[in-house]
Every structure is written in structure tokens, then in C-alpha cells.
């Protein structure tokens, strides 16, 4: 059996032991110093000014759009483009925030929205924002996409929940936009059990995200920031300030366990990303040798941070064949995330307008994935190579 993932943590046993010790000795488990420390380290890792922790990647997506609305960057009814191949909680917040979702087709060979897909959509639709997903460690040509967005005044956000650590020649995935989101859910590259983050260089967005994350209050802001908000609303004493709520928010806070685990797991991230890339390259050789499968294009990536091996067959009936090969060998597999999200029940319920998305339909009908993690053994890799061969 090759499960989707083997361990909850990188360096599993030591991490669990240290977590148990941390819980026993810490005085505080709700959001505090460990979260702050991890936020600083993660911002440094990513090379961004700010990192704000959340209790999940989905929460981070929700908060990013709520904060953008609070700041007046987006308003109800604005058209927001998104990658048609994505995860449910990338698209759901667009609907929840009263924005209009516009799916953009992907390129089969990269699994991602490319600049030409965006340009094609912009011929008929005026987007206010683009919330692009970097899918399964792969990305589109983000440098060109950023340029188009800059030229046309389109706000760019990245859902980087599946691609932490991937790099293009122009920079790290997650650093091409005003704000990018990350997930630290167990099955991803590094885990805080549940958890997420937003990275940004923008001071106002970072400040608003802290308000959105915690009830709409100012408690996690600096003294200078608090003074600004309190002066604006004439809040004169600390007693009143405790329960003053400045703008729309939620409670999406992480715990100190998230902070502790994040600090711990970040130490192993780079070396394990390398190992996952090696696994991918090893298996890619088998894919390249098989003319029933597409070889994905990663030529624009200088580092592929991959936690799931996508298998794209040339026809739906070939997919049936490879699904049987993988299942028969005891390999756990999944569909290509949410497929064409327009076909999902939640989307049909809330969105009337449909767009043709032939490539995303193809990926949905002909693709699937299995796990890729550092604990895959030589023998696991041989089994996977066997599953990827034509026979």
C-alpha cells in the first residue's frame, strides 16, 4: 500500500515528542509568541515583509478577500477571475464575499492558467482581480501574468496552498501578487496539523488581515496602529477599546500549537522539497517513456515543489486503465483536485453563468494524482514506475 501520505510531520517521531513536551510546559496555548515567531520566520523564508498566520489555508483565502473588501480594493459585484482547476475553498470565498467568479481555463501541459489563457479571457471580460491558484507545485508563467495584471490594473492574488517552495526564474511562487495564501494542512508540504498563512509586502493589507483574523478588533496591532484606529473612531479609553470592533472579520486564529509546529517543520522544509523534486524527476522519466501519458511542462520552473504526482492520460479510457494499475498496486489516488469547478454542486447552486473550459474538462476527465513525500522508499518508487508504464 502506498498511501497519499505516510506521516503527519516531517521528522515525525521527534516532532511529536517535542510537541508533547511543549504542551506540557507552555503556559499559554491560544495565539501568542510562538505564532509571532513563526510568522517572522515564515515571512523571512518566503522573502516577504509580512506573514499572517491562520487556522487553515481556506481561512486565509476567506480573510484575504474580506480584507480586500474592507480596504475598498474590491466591492460586491466585482468580477474576480480564478483558475478553473482549483480547490473548493479558493472559489467559495469569492461567492461568499458577493464577488462574481469568472473561471479561467488552464493549459493541460502545465495544469495552470497561462498568460495566453488570461489574455483570451480579457478579450471579453473585464476583471477587477485575479485569484490564481498555483496547482500541485506547478505554476503558470507568473511573470507574464503579473505584467498583464499591472498593465490592466487587475489586482493579483495567489492561492499558493499547493506550491510552497516552487520557484520560477523571476522568483518564488507566492511572491508575484499583492497577497498569497498557504496551507499547512497535514497532507501538504509541511504541516501544523491544520493551519495557513498569508504573505504580503503591503502594510495596510497586513494590518487589515489582523483585524479580519480576530473578531474585527485591534488587539494584535502595534500601539501606533491601535492609536490610529482608536483616534479615528474616538475611542478614548482602554476599557472601551477592548470590545471595539472596527471592521468585518471572523475568528480564524491559529493556536500556539500551530506556531510551535510551524517553527519546527520549517527547519526541514527545504531539504524535503528537494527530495520530493527528486522523486518527481525519477517518475517523470517513466512518464516521458509512455506515449499514453502527457509529460507536464516544468521548463519555466527552477524548483518544482511537488507533493502529489499528477498523471494526465491522453484519453478518458486510458485513465480507466491507469486508475486500475494504480489501485491494483495498492496506491492511493485522488481526482485532479476539484476538476472543472463549474461542475461542483456548490458552484451550480450559486452561480448561473457558465463558461466553456475545454482544457480543464480534459484534465478532470483524464487526470488523477498519487502522493509524493520524502518517505517514499526505493521500492515505492519502483512500484509507482511500474504503474506508470504502458505494459
* Residue nearer to ligand PLP on the CB measure, 166 or 383: 166
3-state secondary structure of 384: helix
Nearest residue to ligand PLP by CB is 57
* Residue nearer to ligand PLP on the CB measure, 135 or 205: 135
CB 307 within 8 A of CB 188: yes
Least distance CB 326 / ligand PLP (angstroms):
20
Least distance CB 192 / ligand PLP (angstroms):
9
The residues facing 159 across adjacent strands are: 133, 181
Least distance CB 380 / ligand PLP (angstroms):
22
* Residue nearer to ligand PLP on the CB measure, 56 or 139: 56
Phi, psi (rounded to 5 degrees) for 83: -70, 125
Segment interacting with ligand PLP (CB under 6 A) among 87-95, 104-112, 235-243, 342-350 = 87-95
Q: Which of residues 242-281 bind ligand PLP (CB under 6 A)?
A: none
CB 389 within 8 A of CB 22: no
Site for ligand PLP contains 87 (CB under 6 A) = yes
Size of the site for ligand PLP (CB under 6 A): 15
Q: Which of residues 50-79 bind ligand PLP (CB under 6 A)?
A: 56-58, 61
Dist CA 132 CA 113 (whole Å): 7
CB 54 within 8 A of CB 197: yes
Least distance CB 28 / ligand PLP (angstroms):
24
Dist CA 60 CA 66 (whole Å): 10
300-312 burial, b at 16+ Cβ within 10 Å, e below that, comes to bbebbbbbbbbbb
* Residue nearer to ligand PLP on the CB measure, 58 or 262: 58
* Residue nearer to ligand PLP on the CB measure, 264 or 290: 264
Q: Which of residues 188-207 bind ligand PLP (CB under 6 A)?
A: 196
Least distance CB 332 / ligand PLP (angstroms):
16
Least distance CB 163 / ligand PLP (angstroms):
8
Dist CA 256 CA 238 (whole Å): 26
3-state secondary structure of 9: coil
Q: How far is CA 280 from CA 208, 212, 242, 337, 362, in A?
A: 39, 38, 51, 18, 22
C-alpha cell at 165: 517552495
Site for ligand PLP contains 112 (CB under 6 A) = no
Contact residues toward ligand PLP (CB under 6 A) are 56-58, 61, 86-87, 89-90, 133, 159, 161-162, 183, 185, 196
Amino acid at each position: 500500500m502506498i498511501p497519499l501520505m505516510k506521516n503527519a510531520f516531517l521528522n515525525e517521531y521527534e516532532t511529536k515528542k517535542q510537541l508533547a513536551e511543549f504542551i506540557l510546559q507552555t503556559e499559554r496555548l491560544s495565539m501568542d509568541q510562538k505564532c509571532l515567531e513563526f510568522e517572522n520566520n515564515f515571512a523571512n523564508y518566503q522573502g516577504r515583509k509580512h506573514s499572517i498566520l491562520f487556522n487553515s489555508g481556506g481561512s486565509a483565502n476567506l480573510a484575504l478577500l474580506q480584507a480586500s473588501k474592507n480596504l475598498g480594493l474590491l466591492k460586491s459585484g466585482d468580477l474576480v477571475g480564478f483558475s478553473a482547476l482549483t480547490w473548493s475553498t479558493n472559489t467559495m470565498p469569492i461567492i461568499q464575499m458577493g464577488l462574481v467568479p469568472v473561471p479561467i481555463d488552464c493549459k493541460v501541459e502545465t495544469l495552470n492558467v497561462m498568460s495566453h489563457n488570461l489574455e483570451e479571457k480579457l478579450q471579453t471580460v473585464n476583471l477587477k482581480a485575479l485569484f490564481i491558484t498555483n496547482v500541485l507545485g506547478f505554476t503558470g508563467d507568473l511573470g507574464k501574468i503579473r505584467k498583464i495584471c499591472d498593465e490592466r490594473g487587475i489586482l493579483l492574488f495567489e492561492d499558493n496552498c499547493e506550491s510552497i517552495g516552487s520557484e520560477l526564474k523571476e522568483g518564488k511562487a507566492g511572491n508575484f501578487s499583492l497577497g498569497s495564501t498557504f496551507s499547512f494542512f497535514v497532507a501538504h508540504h509541511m504541516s501544523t496539523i491544520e493551519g495557513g498563512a498569508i504573505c504580503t509586502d503591503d502594510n495596510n493589507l497586513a494590518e487589515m488581515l489582523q483585524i479580519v483574523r480576530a473578531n474585527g478588533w485591534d488587539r494584535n496591532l502595534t500601539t501606533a496602529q491601535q492609536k490610529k484606529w482608536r483616534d479615528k473612531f474616538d475611542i478614548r479609553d482602554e476599557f472601551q477599546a477592548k470590545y471595539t470592533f472596527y471592521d468585518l472579520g471572523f475568528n480564524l486564529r491559529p493556536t500556539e500549537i500551530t506556531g510551535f509546529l510551524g517553527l519546527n517543520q520549517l527547519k526541514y522544509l527545504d531539504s524535503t522539497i528537494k527530495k520530493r523534486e527528486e522523486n518527481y524527476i525519477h517518475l517523470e522519466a517513466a512518464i516521458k517513456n509512455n506515449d499514453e501519458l502527457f509529460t507536464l511542462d516544468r521548463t519555466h520552473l527552477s524548483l518544482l515543489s511537488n507533493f502529489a504526482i499528477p498523471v494526465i492520460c491522453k484519453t478518458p479510457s486510458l485513465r480507466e486503465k491507469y486508475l486500475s494499475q494504480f489501485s491494483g498496486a495498492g496506491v492511493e489516488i485522488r481526482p485532479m483536485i476539484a476538476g472543472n469547478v463549474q461542475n461542483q454542486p456548490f458552484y451550480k447552486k450559486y452561480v448561473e453563468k457558465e463558461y466553456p473550459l475545454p482544457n480543464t474538462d480534459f484534465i478532470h476527465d483524464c487526470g488523477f494524482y498519487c502522493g509524493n513525500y520524502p518517505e517514499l522508499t526505493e521500492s515505492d518508487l519502483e512500484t509507482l514506475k511500474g504503474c506508470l508504464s504502458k505494459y
